[in-house]
Structure 1
Amino acid sequence: MNTSTSKNPPKIVVTGRIPEGGLDLLRSAGDVWAWSGDDPAPRDVVRDQLADAKAVVTLLSDQVDDDFLDAAPNARVVANVAVGYNNVDVDACTARGVRVTNTPGVLTEATADLAIGLLLASTRRLGEGERLIRSGAEWKWGMFMMLGTGLQGRQLGIVGMGEIGTATATRARAFGMDIVYHNRSAASAEVEQRLEARRLPLDDLLAGSDVVSLHCPYTAETHHLIDADALASMKSSAYLVNTARGPIVEEAALVDALGDGAIAGAALDVYEHEPDVHPGLLDLDNVVLAPHLGSATVETRTAMAELAARNVVAVLRGDDPPTPVN
């Protein structure tokens, strides 16, 4: 624990390990209790610390619900270190006068990079190739060995044309892909012109795209947005990439679609019941699996922690936070 030099410094609870740069900013504004383990802090340990906390920095593994807020009656701000905040009951926080903040923007480039990496790993069968080499099995080059599919002239369907979706589309355009997207509102004229992107209804996007990449937020409306019917409407040669949130995809339906050849492959960084992964996915060669690495660069995670800290500092000073949710 680190105590500031203020006479009565506000207590700030950090529920999980974050980069030191974020902690340094928090220490300048209050008395910081921070969990230092790599695993999530036990809920009872966090609850004990929340009783007199004025601010709480949370991670995706935390569920900020009524029970959590009951344990933190003095909290003024919950700063979620993530672009998403589906783990936070924003309405419950608002009803109690608790500000909620997140960390958008700073993870855009890293997540878009990973989406393209997963796209390439899936369409070029890199996961299968690496597993073959590591298995020690005999192999030799052949004209038809592990043929994948090229990207040039293929259609990429972006579901959710926000900052990350746009950044992913920009990278895909450099590979020669044609861009279509589905979004509640149209992208700017500049984005559409630069990417030669067309906005489509979701059904049309799914039916015509060679790769579908998910970048929409997780809400009640997007829960199982990609279900059995959606997967059945896709081309049998198509690939699905998900770097958004796991429950957007009905995982059991995806296992069936991959196993039956309804789609050619998938690449996932997030899971419906994370950190648990549907066991059916583990047995399939035509799916690439990553352990939620979307923002996992040193630079990005540091920027996320520092932005969350700046949000806390602003609220404790009585100012508007840089990235408010409510």
Structure 2
Amino acid sequence: MKPKVYITRKLPEIIVRKIEAICEVRMWPEEDIPVPRDILLDEVKDIDGLFCLLTESVDESLLNAAPNLKVISNMAVGFNNIDINLATEREMIVTNTPGVLTETTADLTFALLMATARRVVEASAYLREDKWKTWSPMQLTGQDIYGATLGIIGLGRIGEALVKRAKGFDMNILYSNRTRKPEKERELGIQYRELDCLLQESDFVCILIPYSPQVHHLIGQRELGLMKETSVLINTARGGIVDESALYDSLKEGSIWAAGLDVFEEEPVSTNHPLLTLQNVVALPHIGSASKQTRLKMADLAAGNLIRILTGKDAITKVN
């Protein structure tokens, strides 16, 4: 008898066929709408494997509803949507998809930095709204990127990839990390700073750490107050790392210059969110890994993890 799997979002056919070769598959048929909670809880009652996204909360109530569950394959690097401790206690394997999205996310992070610094979105709207009447000396002026100081919070895979991009702009690169990495300092030509010093010295601050309760609102009113009035904050990690209310106040008051955000505390973010009312915020709908090639690689890795566990092998990328 084939193991039973539930997929919480419509996937490309090539990925579904790969799972169907080994498993009995049921799948939520919508691509852009998450599976409703009541349907999800009903669907997991008899499954051996769950293929899920960050949009699904794999908490105690779901795990209680799925007594046969052996593997939770999360199509994401982060896994704060899953109760890892409880899954581990119940001998359920949790997997994620690191590595394959590193370069794509670093691309988007630097693109967001550039768009924010040079007011690209604001300038495009200015033109489309027929406000462009003449050239003037200080019209839509932004911040220089070349030769500026970049502060990276979290020197993991994506942080290292961002360093390589910033080197092409001759940026002075600082980093803050839970553990210092002297070998990376020598290899990449970067300098370590404690977080407060990094915030004070940087022209651009990019957040690239994974979310955990320990870093909830790591960047709040005090930390934003340490930054330069001309500085730019970029967050492509998780929304909960930044206190959005404090960020709004800092941007509105001009104590920092701008912010580029790919993530929010509550997603999808409401269109009446205060941050979306500010012209000095470039906001994106969590598209850090959103290239066709990378999303297919993520889905393929998640499918591979699922299949390997359900066929008695070890996962390629295991969380617990």
TM category (shorter chain) comes to over 0.9
The 3-state SS of whatever aligns with 1:240 is strand
The 3-state SS of whatever aligns with 1:299 is helix
Is 1:286 aligned with 2:251?
no
Quote how far apart the aligned CAs of 1:22 are: 2.3
Which residue in the other structure is 2:204 paired with? 211
Quote how far apart the aligned CAs of 1:172 are: 1.0
Is 1:242 aligned with 2:235?
yes
Distance 1:88 1:173 in 2: 36
Letter in 2 for 1:275: P
Q: With the length of structure 1 as denominator, give the TM-score of the two structures.
A: 0.95
CA deviations 1:238-285 (Å, max 9, x no partner) are 000000000100001000000000100000000011212462212211
Distance 1:102 1:188 in 2: 28
Aligned ranges 1:1-326 → 2 under 5 Å: 8-37=1-30, 38-187=32-181, 189=183, 191-277=184-270, 279-326=273-320
CA deviations 1:189-208 (Å, max 9, x no partner) are 2x323431011110110111
Report the CA distance shift for 1:93/1:247 in structure 2 as closer, same or farther (over 3 A).
same
Quote how far apart the aligned CAs of 1:103 are: 0.3
Kindly indicate whether the alpha-carbon contact (under 8 Å) linking 1:19 and 1:301 is maintained by their aligned counterparts in 2: no
Report the CA distance shift for 1:193/1:21 in structure 2 as closer, same or farther (over 3 A).
farther
Distance 2:274 2:158 in 1: 29
Letter in 1 for 2:61: D
CA deviations 1:101-133 (Å, max 9, x no partner) are 000001111110000010001110111101111
Q: Which runs of 5+ in 1 are unaligned?
A: 1-7
Q: Which runs of 5+ in 2 are unaligned?
A: none
Letter in 1 for 2:106: A
**RMSD of equivalent CA atoms:** 1.2
Quote how far apart the aligned CAs of 1:188 are: 5.8
Kindly indicate whether the alpha-carbon contact (under 8 Å) linking 1:22 and 1:308 is maintained by their aligned counterparts in 2: no
Quote how far apart the aligned CAs of 1:179 are: 0.8
Kindly indicate whether the alpha-carbon contact (under 8 Å) linking 1:178 and 1:196 is maintained by their aligned counterparts in 2: no
The 3-state SS of whatever aligns with 1:166 is helix
Distance 2:287 2:204 in 1: 20
Kindly indicate whether the alpha-carbon contact (under 8 Å) linking 1:236 and 1:262 is maintained by their aligned counterparts in 2: yes
CA deviations 1:167-225 (Å, max 9, x no partner) are 11211111111111011123362x32343101111011011100000000101111000
The 3-state SS of whatever aligns with 2:308 is helix
Number of residue pairs aligned between Structure 1 and Structure 2: 318
Letter in 2 for 1:200: R
CA deviations 1:44-99 (Å, max 9, x no partner) are 11222111100000101000000011111101000000000000010010111100
